[in-house]
Structure 1
């Protein structure tokens, strides 16, 4: 029976399985099956997604991200930070790296800290398609949402009393709303605590449920919050409190557009192991 080595990592409570596909060369249809089988919480390893490392002609490596339902996403902020820690721990890449994703090239910085895990910062691709106060009708109820693509599509909804919001019920309706077809959208519920401090909960497309954190969602929420508050500052720093209770930091520059966007937070390698996948590779 064929077995492959995998790594389990987490960033802000977002957990991932990572496999190195340099030598394995597992094809896309099999990768989707591996994601569906092994991301399952009760019958697999359990994860929000599968990270796949492949060769790149443009960077140190290429990152692919498959959601728990087997669909492939363009980008994942916390997944990207996990990949950087893996590159640092296993491939011994130090200080900085530059890698390829479907959303574009990502720059990363690594800061090792004793007894605290690594602090990983990634420079995101510039956000686009920013839209504010989009009217939606959810079962005869009118609401306004905001939208921006930070590598993947995100909707941001401002709320009060975040802990009482039925995230999965409302999130699912917005995620599949006809306004966002065909690709759908991730859905972030945001409570503003201070001008530079927000709390978020996210319904993730592909996971089809709430996750402990979402890196691209944290970035989208920080950008939309700045626009909502009509901040005049050029250099912006927003602290983001996730469902896992970990804080992420989002930095960016705003002028006529949003540029130089960075996401920062801690990452940890939980364990590594081997798993038998022979049936998946031959079915």
Structure 2
């Protein structure tokens, strides 16, 4: 099987061209676990198949490093945009990608460097990530009221305050101090598997720098701490506005880089802009 290793802000995935590689669906979870292993496999935060789609230009079929399916990945979908353009699967710079039934729209920024037969190659991607979901039952999170904003949650005997947002996948945003020094490997799994999250949760721990900048670390369900999470950054931007901590446009700094997030309040749409990088290609 041929593959391409790609990353967005250090959030790395193995990409497989589903137009050419035919892997039985039942084998994909185990394949994701085996290939994602950083000691005995290729090493990644997960496995993504790029497939034909009826309702969009392409489908993103995504598996976490533990083999579980994921609905959406912001860094992952940017790399899908780079893959399909750089590989010649499309000549268009505005494309649509469906994942778990939800269609996202991508604008591809192409560097005219003469590569790829003179077509250039994609360096950055802006994604319309759609509208944030705030209703607790749809995230899902167990919470009273129509929103879970600055909601108390008790983890290992300590009270945290969380704001829950779905960007196609569930997030709990926790604003805190000294995020760089947090023992995420201890607290992350406790959030991920907390009884209040029926489908587990991605948890973002965020330190506010000013109203247009913040620093984030993330514990992703099924993958552990990653260098970045695109949907998590979108959730952070929404949570920052809802808690009156940030403006509607914010740069989120991550272990692997930074993403620029805009929440168009009038249209209720979140836009994410960031890099997409090919690391290497191979065959396994």
TM-score (norm 1): 0.89
Pairs within 5 Å for 1:150-165 = 150-165=167-182
User: Structure 1, residues 77-134: CA drift from partner, whole Å, max 9, x if none?
Assistant: 1000011000110024331111211151010001123689611111113111252122
Matched with 1:87 is 84
Matched with 2:276 is 267
TM-score (norm 2): 0.88
Matched with 2:143 is none
Contact 2:260 2:274 in 1 (8 A): yes
Matched with 2:107 is 109
Contact 1:190 1:201 in 2 (8 A): yes
Task: Give the deviation of 1:230 after TM superposition.
Answer: 6.4
Matched with 2:117 is none
RMSD: 1.7
Cα distance in 2 for partners of 1:125, 1:25 equals 31
1:252 paired to 2:263 = yes
Task: Give the deviation of 1:155 after TM superposition.
Answer: 0.4
User: Does the residue aligned with 1:180 lie in a helix, a strand or coil?
Assistant: coil
Matched with 2:192 is 175
Cα distance in 2 for partners of 1:196, 1:210 equals 24
Matched with 2:236 is 221
User: Does the residue aligned with 2:149 lie in a helix, a strand or coil?
Assistant: strand
Contact 2:237 2:263 in 1 (8 A): no
Matched with 2:54 is 57
1:96 paired to 2:94 = yes
1:215–1:179 distance in 2 versus 1, CA, 3 Å = same
Matched with 2:41 is 44
Larger mean CA deviation between 30-39 and 138-147 belongs to 138-147
Task: Give the deviation of 1:14 after TM superposition.
Answer: 0.4
Aligned length: 264
Task: Give the deviation of 1:169 after TM superposition.
Answer: 1.1
Contact 2:132 2:268 in 1 (8 A): yes
Cα distance in 2 for partners of 1:140, 1:9 equals 39
Task: Give 5+ residue unaligned stretches, structure 2.
Answer: 114-120, 135-146
User: Structure 1, residues 21-73: CA drift from partner, whole Å, max 9, x if none?
Assistant: 22433222211111010010000000001011111111111111100000000
Cα distance in 1 for partners of 2:277, 2:4 equals 11
Task: Give the deviation of 1:140 after TM superposition.
Answer: 2.3
Cα distance in 1 for partners of 2:245, 2:78 equals 30
1:48–1:151 distance in 2 versus 1, CA, 3 Å = same
1:240 paired to 2:252 = yes
Cα distance in 1 for partners of 2:165, 2:59 equals 24
Task: Give 5+ residue unaligned stretches, structure 1.
Answer: 276-283
Cα distance in 2 for partners of 1:230, 1:221 equals 10
Larger mean CA deviation between 139-148 and 157-166 belongs to 139-148
Contact 2:127 2:272 in 1 (8 A): yes
User: Structure 1, residues 139-192: CA drift from partner, whole Å, max 9, x if none?
Assistant: 3222221101011000000011111111121111111111112x0100000001
Pairs within 5 Å for 1:126-165 = 126-129=131-134, 130-165=147-182
Cα distance in 1 for partners of 2:31, 2:271 equals 31
